[in-house]
Amino acid sequence: MITYNPKDWWKLIFAFHRSDSFRVLLPGMIGLALYTALIAYIENDYLHVTFKNTTMVHSLVGFVLSMMLIFRTNTAYDRWWEGRKLWGSFVNNSRNLALKLQAFLPAEAREERAMFRDLIGNFIYAAKEHLRQGVKTEKLVETGSYTADWYAKGGHVPNQVLKGLYTEINRLYMNQTITGDHLIVINAELQSFADNLGACERIKRTPIPYAYSLFLKKIIFIYVFTMPIGFVLDYKYWAVPVVTFVFYAFAAIEVIAEEIEDPFGLEANDLPLDAITDTIRGNVRDILEG
């Protein structure tokens, strides 16, 4: 995720980065500009076309298209923001679980604290990678009997790590290291881990309906590539920058929406999951080792 100062107008106006919509759409904008110039030459200099009121239909359709794009970008942002709230919940649940374990475990239980420190960190890391390209279990911290091979057993690595957390909590209860009341209090944080991950998977695996995305792209294409036919009569060769700008304005909204509707990836506008994971691991380590 890119960090920036939203009040620095001039820097933002002239800033470009790898996933910037202008950079992504530049080839299409150049092609459309050449296409519009060709239409302008054919209609104005070759055929001398004189029909009028050719922009009215595009004005009406443009309003409808704008409403559709507003819905599109709002839907994508809602998914992005929900993902951010879920990972904020991961931060809070990790801290709460670590604080409760620190308070409930006896002072001499250093090995148990170290194991929970590693298991909590492993779950957060596994959840992050699970939402991306899959978890490489060799990158998880091995602790006690929980090795890379053990983590890989279940297929769904975050669930396997969470299983280890539940197993260790139950062992503490069976050994009477914690009471039944402690178990109930701790269970709320563990359940929230599973609930948050399930909600993230719902966002990841449920994109915008295919028919809606397909229809919107077709409408943008038809709208933009029929614009020059009418606009070159009123604007002559000035229609080239006008049509190109309209294409950029409409298509850029769709490109941005496509990027942020899956907020768990590695693109510039995705959530900073690596930084959040590091924050959680640092907080849990400070609490359980303090």
The mean pLDDT of 1-10, rounded to a whole number, is 61
Q: How far is 14 from 87, CA to CA, in rounded Å?
A: 32
Q: How far is 172 from 177, CA to CA, in rounded Å?
A: 5
Are 158 and 124 in contact by the 8 Å Cβ rule? The answer is no
Are 276 and 285 in contact by the 8 Å Cβ rule? The answer is no
- DSSP summary character for residue 236: G
Whether 16 maps to a domain, the answer reads no
Q: What is the pTM of this model?
A: 0.86
- Read off the pLDDT band of 5 (50, 70, 90): low
Whether 29 maps to a domain, the answer reads no
Are 143 and 120 in contact by the 8 Å Cβ rule? The answer is no
Transcribe 195-229 into DSSP letters.
HHHHHHHHHHH--S-HHHHHHHHHHHHHHHHHHHH
45-49, 217-221, 274-278: range with lowest mean pLDDT: 45-49
Could you tell me the two tokens for 114? 């170290």
Number of Cβ atoms within 10 Å of the Cβ of 209:
9
Q: How far is 95 from 89, CA to CA, in rounded Å?
A: 10
Could you tell me the two tokens for 249? 């304005």
- Read off the pLDDT band of 233 (50, 70, 90): confident
Q: How far is 267 from 287, CA to CA, in rounded Å?
A: 32
Q: How far is 205 from 129, CA to CA, in rounded Å?
A: 15
Please report the pLDDT score of residue 119 as a whole number: 95
Whether 41 maps to a domain, the answer reads no
Q: For tokens 């690595």, what's the residue? A: 157
Are 50 and 57 in contact by the 8 Å Cβ rule? The answer is no
Whether 252 maps to a domain, the answer reads yes
pLDDT digits (tens, 9 = 90+) for 70-111: 999 999 999 999 999 999 999 999 999 999 999 999 988 899
Whether 5 maps to a domain, the answer reads no
Query: Residue 267 belongs to what domain range?
Result: 56-233+247-290
Q: How far is 242 from 257, CA to CA, in rounded Å?
A: 23
Whether 13 maps to a domain, the answer reads no
pLDDT digits (tens, 9 = 90+) for 13-28: 666 665 578 788 889 9
Whether 39 maps to a domain, the answer reads no
- Residue partners of 73: CB distance under 8 A and separation at least 6: 253, 256, 257
Q: What angle do CA 236, 242, 245 make, to 5 degrees?
A: 160
Q: For tokens 């909600």, what's the residue? A: 199
What's the domain count of the chain?
1
- What is the overall mean pLDDT for the chain? 88
Transcribe 33-61 into DSSP letters.
HHHHHHHHIIIIIIS-------SHHHHHH
Q: How far is 126 from 130, CA to CA, in rounded Å?
A: 6
Whether 215 maps to a domain, the answer reads yes
